[in-house]
Amino acid sequence: MKGKHATSIKPSTSFSRREFVGQSAGAALAFSIVPRYVLGGPGFVPPSDKVNIAFIGVGAQGLRVMLHFLKEPDVQGVAVCDVNKASADYPQWDTHEFCKSVRSLLGVDSGWDWLSPDQPIQLNHTLRVTSGVAGREPSQQIVNALYASHKSSGKYNGCTAHSDYRELLEKQKDVDAVVVCTTDHLHAVISAAAMKKRKHVFCQKPLTHTISEARQIAEIARQTGVATQIAVGNQASEATRLLCEWIWDGAIGPVREVHNWSTRPFWPQGVERPKETQPVPDGLDWDSWLGPAPERPFHHAYLPFVWRGWADFGCGALGDMGCYSYDTIFRVLKLEAPISVEASSTDRYDETYPLASIIRYHFGPRGDMPAVNFTWYDGGLRPPTPEELLQDSAPANAGDEEENEGLLFVGDRGKILCGFNGANPRLIPKAKMDAYKQPPKTLPRSPGNEREWLDACRGGRVKPGGNFEFSGMVTETLLLGNLAIRTGQRLEWDRTNLKVLNSEAAQKMVAPERRRGWEL
């Protein structure tokens, strides 16, 4: 991914801050920005150059992501949104992690009034939230406390809190971009609504919950031209670029097999729907949490976090981890869509994913690359140990990353082993890696996944690498694997028409019905 290259073109008329920030990633013109050190000292970014962001879904992971973005000098948090007000009935953060993360953001090492893990903590009479509890109100207070501590940050009107993303997008006019960190089944409807309002969008993985949503989201992104990015950091990594350069250089010859294994899930799967009903926690809008999913009574079996194992809300191990590795594999092998996919698994259930599964994709030839078979393993299943590892004097042991979760490319003349999403690639055995003369680094390097998106939000001409058009294509294949798991059939796939050629049951899952009012 290229860095930002802005052309110094003087506009004939003045531009407002919104017009400037609203320049799409694919705009024909981009304007140079005066370095912040010229305007206000080291690290200072004038308010006119900041990206006003609304954070939608600020539970456990969403709050982590928000804290990460707020550390960027050109980010200004202006709104938070969550269907959960702040429920102590199910704390979503470990108390130590919560306090450490917030304290790091605010840049303080003291001033915390430690009462007890389940009582409020207070920072200089500004921040008062219950440790371990996320939601819109605690997140709002954190953002306001941050800017209250930054006296030089310029005019700031405070962070608003919303329970409904539609209200936020309709009423709050100062939002330039949104960060979507909800459950999987809400990613598409929120991202679509934001893009149609011409807001830039950064979305957690997986991009969507269904295959048809992935196609629609990619098309909306193309039509609107806003800056989009998925939260798959390895797409911007050095390791992904090295893998591309090595395999395209012929380091192991034509690649005909790929194996990818994960220890996920570590949440409940392979279970039936609970029969009893539990009271909805105070502060939680259960109907909005369900969103497009079919109605059902509240139960803690669905949240927090454990929703990943339920087919109506999450995408199982594939949705949690496959998004990372599939992104790398697609880039390295220039994949688009499989011809067929089939799966085997432990016992299947109507509403949850199995405890362990193996998915086999078959891709046809692409350009000068041959057909390739790609196999995914989860639930602790994994392929046989490569013979090449046994040749090394100090073979990998069970404690090594690749033993538990890894990625293996098998070529006609060798193999490359790496971490699950492509990290730390190496030819095996070690003697081959030692003898390999690496090719020149020809691919542009990235400033970072979040940085790519923020630069595009500010008018950069370089489209983020994890944009929704590319990620939509990857997501379609990923979710096709879940269809194979749930049906237990070998599926023949026609990507052009989004059609499963040999299974009516699977075809219904490509575009399942949504609750009224939640149409994309």
Choose between 170 and 128: higher pLDDT: 170
Are 190 and 254 part of one and the same domain? Answer: no
Does residue 45 share a domain with residue 119?
yes
363-395 pLDDT tens trace = 999 999 999 999 999 999 999 999 999 888 755
In a domain, 282, yes or no: no
How far, in Å, CA of 481 to CA of 320, rounded? 13
Residue entry with tokens 């899930």: 265
Count: domains in the chain: 2
Question: Is 499 a member of any domain?
Answer: yes
pLDDT, tens only, 187-211? 999 999 999 999 999 999 999 999 9
User: Is the pLDDT assigned to residue 476 strictly greater than 60?
Assistant: yes
Task: Tally the residues of the chain.
Answer: 520
User: Do 220 and 245 fall within a single domain?
Assistant: no
- Note down the domain range covering 200: 17-234+450-465
431 and 396 in a common domain:
yes
Residue 283 placed within a domain: no
Q: Out of 157-161, 355-359, 470-474, which region has the weakest mean confidence (pLDDT)?
A: 157-161
Classify residue 380: in a domain, yes or no.
Answer: yes
> If you search the block for the tokens 């030692």, which residue do you land on?
434
pLDDT, residue 402, reads 60
**CA-CA distances (angstroms) from residue 265 to 107, 151, 297?**
35, 45, 25
Dihedral of alpha carbons 46, 48, 49, 54, sign: positive
Q: Grade residue 145 by pLDDT with cuts at 50, 70 and 90.
A: confident
Going by the DSSP 8-state scheme, the letter that residue 310 receives in this structure is: B
Q: Are 122 and 128 in contact (CB under 8 A)?
A: yes
242 and 165, same domain (yes or no): no
Same domain, 173 and 253: no
Is there a single domain that holds both residue 207 and residue 350? no
**What are the respective helix, strand and coil percentages of the chain, to the nearest 5?**
35, 20, 50
Which own/partner contact pairs does 32-36 have at CB distance under 8 Å and 24+ positions apart?
Answer: 32/6, 32/7, 32/8, 33/6, 33/458, 33/459, 36/73, 36/74
Classify residue 12: in a domain, yes or no. Answer: no
In a domain, 275, yes or no: no
Residue that wins the pLDDT comparison between 83 and 404: 83
CB count in 10 Å sphere of residue 332: 25
Residues 483 and 389 both lie in one domain:
yes
Q: Which residue has the higher pLDDT, 319 or 119?
A: 319
Question: Is 8 contained in some domain?
Answer: no
Residues 315 and 410 in one domain: yes
CATH no. for residue 505? 3.30.360.10
Query: What pLDDT, on the 0 to 100 scale, is given for residue 147?
Result: 87
Looking at residue 186, the DSSP 8-state letter turns out to be: G
Determine the distance from the C-alpha atom of residue 384 to the mean position of all C-alpha atoms in its chain, rounded to a whole number. 30
**CATH at 99:** 3.40.50.720
> Is 2 domain-assigned?
no
Same domain, 112 and 162: yes
Contact residues for 415 (Cβ-Cβ < 8 A; gap 6+): 252, 386, 388, 408, 409, 427, 428
E-strand ranges in 245-327 read 255-261
* Whole-number Å distance between alpha carbons of 227 and 13: 24
Please tell me which residue, 184 or 112, carries the higher pLDDT value: 184
Average pLDDT (174-178) is 97
CB 133 within 8 A of CB 93: yes
Nearest-Å Rg of the Cα atoms of the chain is: 24
Average pLDDT, the chain: 84
pLDDT at site 340:
98
Rounded to two decimals, what is the model's pTM?
0.86
State whether 140 and 100 are in the same domain. Answer: yes
Whether the predicted pLDDT of 233 surpasses 60: yes
Q: What confidence score (pLDDT) does residue 61 get? A: 87
DSSP state of 284: B
For 96-135, how does the pLDDT look when each residue is reduced to its tens digit (9 = 90+)? 555 666 666 666 543 333 323 444 444 434 444 444 567 8
Unique residue bearing structure tokens 């949490």? 289
CA distance 262 to 325: 10
Q: Report strand pairing: 177-180 vs 51-56.
A: parallel
DSSP per-residue string spanning 337-358: --SEEEEEES---SSB--S-EE
Lowest mean pLDDT across 28-32, 148-152, 364-368:
28-32
Check whether residue 252 and residue 216 sit in a common domain.
no
